[in-house]
Amino acid sequence: MTPAQSAAFQAGSGITPGTLLTGIAGVVLVLAFVWVIWVTL
């Protein structure tokens, strides 16, 4: 994203794109971890 797009996104949502990506990555990792535990049990 361009700096202008990044600023507009942050103004609209209240969070930075980096924070959003970190949050999404965290959720994906947790879901994958739970799935692995579910499959191995």
Interval 4-41: pLDDT, tens: 888 888 888 888 888 889 999 999 999 999 999 999 99
pLDDT for position 6:
85
Judge whether residue 1 has pLDDT over 80: no
pLDDT for position 12:
86
pLDDT for position 25:
95
Reduced 3-state DSSP string for 1-41 = CCHHHHHHHHHHHCCCHHHHHHHHHHHHHHHHHHHHHHHHC
pLDDT for position 14:
85
pTM: 0.62
pLDDT for position 29:
97
